[in-house]
Amino acid sequence: MKNTMSHHTIDMIFAQTWLMVCQLHQGTAISQGDNFYHRVCQLIDETRQKLLEHGYPETAIEHMQYAQCALIDESVMNRQHQQDDGYNTWIQSPLQARYFNTLEAGDKLWDRLRSILNETAPNPDVLLCFHRVLTLGFVGKFRQQNAPERERIVAQLNVQLPDYLISSDLPLVVKPKLRFSRRRLYWFGWIGGALVLAAMWWGFSASLEHLLQQWMTQG
């Protein structure tokens, strides 16, 4: 049961992060950068507390929150035509600098992921978290999602993801009755992951845009 529910746990813990990033990718303007930054820091802290409550070890928490900070930083900074108050706030103090004392997450996230993939028994939830971050478009130093080296690392990650994370029990996905190759199962899992995000998106009582506006106006 723990294994089959693992992906749901990660997606629920990081739900607001995933949804916020989706909204930022739509180019949402941030008019009150300081307030929004403060609320995002609260989100980072709340995420850490939830991970602790679920019993994740400190090393796993550090990996997942590093990926979380890197994804949010890139999503805020890379919005097209949006060098607004949010951009100006972030450029002064990215989350990666605040929480990890680095300005190199665009490079170091990939180094960290390579290190995790080379472990004898990497934590599957950490792998899933990184998979979500990459699925949501993080590119870092590669600049483009189709960069050959990025695709090679993503392919290695896909191979190491446990079958139960890519082939079963994702909401809104009907299990196929026929046998499929692992490659095809991966694509079902990827599509399922997108449907999970869509389901969570519509499941929130208030729109994310409204949530972002609240974050920007509340200190």
Reported as a single tens digit per residue, the pLDDT across 102-127 is 999 999 999 999 999 999 999 999 99
Instruction: Establish if 108 belongs to a structural domain.
Output: yes
Instruction: Establish if 196 belongs to a structural domain.
Output: no
Instruction: Establish if 74 belongs to a structural domain.
Output: yes
Q: What is the mean pLDDT of residues 149-177?
A: 66
User: How confident is the prediction for the chain on average, in pLDDT?
Assistant: 80
Which one, of 192, 190, 172, 188, lies nearest residue 180 by Cα?
188
- For residue 182, give every residue at least 6 positions away whose Cβ sits within 8 Å of its Cβ, in sequence order, or none: 159, 163
- For residue 66, give every residue at least 6 positions away whose Cβ sits within 8 Å of its Cβ, in sequence order, or none: 96, 99, 100, 105, 108, 109, 112
Question: Is the pLDDT assigned to residue 215 strictly greater than 80?
Answer: no
Task: Give the confidence band of 204 by pLDDT, cuts at 50, 70, 90.
Answer: very low
Residues written for the chain: 219
What confidence score (pLDDT) does residue 172 get? 31
Q: What is the mean pLDDT of residues 4-9?
A: 63
Instruction: Establish if 162 belongs to a structural domain.
Output: no
Distance CA 10, CA 32 (A): 29
Instruction: Establish if 199 belongs to a structural domain.
Output: no
Distance CA 208, CA 191 (A): 22
Q: What is the pTM of this model?
A: 0.77
Q: What is the pLDDT of residues 192-202, one digit of tens each?
A: 555 555 554 44
Q: What is the pLDDT of residues 36-80, one digit of tens each?
A: 999 999 999 999 999 999 999 999 999 999 999 999 999 999 998
Residue ranges making up the domain that contains 52: 2-145+204-217
Q: What are φ and ψ of residue 9, in 5° steps?
A: -60, -50
CATH of the domain at 39: 1.25.40.590
What confidence score (pLDDT) does residue 144 get? 86
